[in-house]
A = this chain, B = another copy of it.
Amino acid sequence: MKEPPLPEITSRRMLASSRLFSIEELNLRFSNGVERVYERLPVRGHPGIIVVAVNDRREVMLIREYAAGFHERQLSLPKGGAQFGEPLELAADRELKEEIGFGAREVRFVKRLNLAPGHMGFTINVMFARDLYPMRLPGDEPEPIEVVPWPVDALDDLIHGGEFNEARAIAALTLTRKFLEQG
Contacts and interface: CB of A to CB of B under 8 A. Distances in A.
A69 B122 CA distance: 8
SS class, residues of chain A in contact with chain B: mixed
A130 to B, nearest CB: 19
A142 interface: yes
Contacts of A17: 16
A154 interface: no
Copies of this protein, total: 2
Interface size class, chain A: 35 or more
A9 B71 contact: yes
A73 B3 contact: yes
A90 interface: no
Interface in A152-183: 159-160, 165-168, 170-172, 174-175
